[in-house]
Amino acid sequence: MAQTPSKLVSLAEAAQSVANGASLTAGGFAHSHQPLAFTRELVRQGRSRLTLMSVAECWVAEFLAAAGMLEKVYFSNFMFEGYGRCQRFSKAVEAGTIAVEDHSHFGMVSRLMAAGLGLPFMPMRAMAGTDILAVSGFEPAAHKAKRLDSPFGNGVVTAVSPLKPDVAVIHAARADRLGNVQLFGTTSVIEEQARAAAQVIVTVEEIVDTDVIRRQPELTLLPALMVDMVVHVPYGAHPTGVYGYYDHDAPHLADYYAASRSETDTAAWLDRWVHGLPDHFAYLDALTMSRLLRLRVDPALGYLREVRHD
């Protein structure tokens, strides 16, 4: 019996599969499991004219905007929890260099669901009577949504069209070499994003044997048949966190947020933490092992336990 080929590739190889002008969707929510090692590699490789189809992956959107790589964004909400608005993204939208199409969270999820299920539209109640429908962004209003009488009664529904990204980039806890992917804790809308995309790239904290995956099948978020590439990237979500592995790096996030208020300071920050480092492991070296270890969570709790020194 022929052995199933491994889907393991390098981070650089995975990023190279994303073409200029491609559309992306990225996993994660707020300060949790956003695929930022992959995002930094895209920035190093200098992609351009990207379209992002997003729910709440604010840090991915911000870094791509700061690097001048975004052209269009379908999204529901971008904000840095505990800090404020996404400065470089917001400035680019205000300047007209990034075109946006607004949705509610459920509106974006419904469009991805329609694509993932192979349906021509998805009916829902959300967004009705709002400027999200009344005011068009870059997308013709009739291509985005239509109001329809329900064929089963109960009034009028909003039918939204499918969104099919070229690539979904997900960061998860662990996977085997075949591409069976597991994630602990909150999963956000990763399944919908992966089902909608033409290609799925997953970066993970660790690679484990398939027997380990089989011991807890209930944790398998994405089966191998849905995954095209797997990349082993420890701390691949840093400076956001991954439940069960490490907490988000609040000082690092705060440093970026302070720098993002100025275009010059943002460029200097990118030079230091992205362009000035050849790869992800150089990035980890620059952070230092002691800093990374301080972010490791309590293995029993799955999150970082605060230590008080009264």
pLDDT, tens digit, 9 for 90 and up, residues 99-152: 999 999 999 999 999 999 999 999 999 898 899 998 989 999 989 999 999 999
Instruction: Please tell me the distance from the alpha carbon of residue 114 to that of residue 195, in angstroms, as a whole number.
Output: 10
Instruction: Please tell me the distance from the alpha carbon of residue 111 to that of residue 126, in angstroms, as a whole number.
Output: 12
Q: Report angle CA 266, 269, 273 to the nearest 5 degrees.
A: 140
Q: Indicate whether 276 pLDDT > 60.
A: yes
What are the two backbone dihedrals, phi and then psi, of residue 118, each rounded to the nearest 5 degrees?
70, 30
pLDDT, tens digit, 9 for 90 and up, residues 78-101: 888 788 889 999 999 999 999 999
Greatest mean pLDDT among 71-80, 224-233, 295-304 lies in 224-233
Share of the chain above pLDDT 70, in %: 97
Q: What is the pLDDT of residue 309?
A: 38
Q: What is the pLDDT of residue 29?
A: 86
List the beta bridge partners of residue 207.
Answer: 175
CA dihedral 27, 189, 186, 280 (to 10 degrees): -10
pLDDT, tens digit, 9 for 90 and up, residues 151-168: 998 899 999 999 999 999
Q: What is the pLDDT of residue 308?
A: 41
pLDDT, tens digit, 9 for 90 and up, residues 24-59: 999 998 889 999 999 999 999 999 999 999 998 899
> CB–CB of 183/219 below 8 Å?
yes
pLDDT mean over 238-261: 95
* Range in 208-212, 273-277, 302-306 the model is least confident about: 302-306
Helix, strand, coil tally for the chain in percent (to 5): 35, 20, 40
Q: What is the pLDDT of residue 2?
A: 56
pLDDT, tens digit, 9 for 90 and up, residues 175-214: 999 999 999 988 889 999 999 999 999 999 999 999 999 9
Angle of the 263-270 helix axis to the 250-259 helix axis, nearest 10: 130
Q: Indicate whether 172 pLDDT > 80.
A: yes
Which of 169, 206, 171, 163 lies closest to 187, judged by CA? 171
User: How, if at all, do strands 167-175 and 23-26 pair?
Assistant: parallel
Q: Which domains does the chain have, with CATH numbers?
A: 23-105+164-294 (3.40.1080.10)
Share of the chain above pLDDT 90, in %: 83
Average pLDDT, the chain: 93
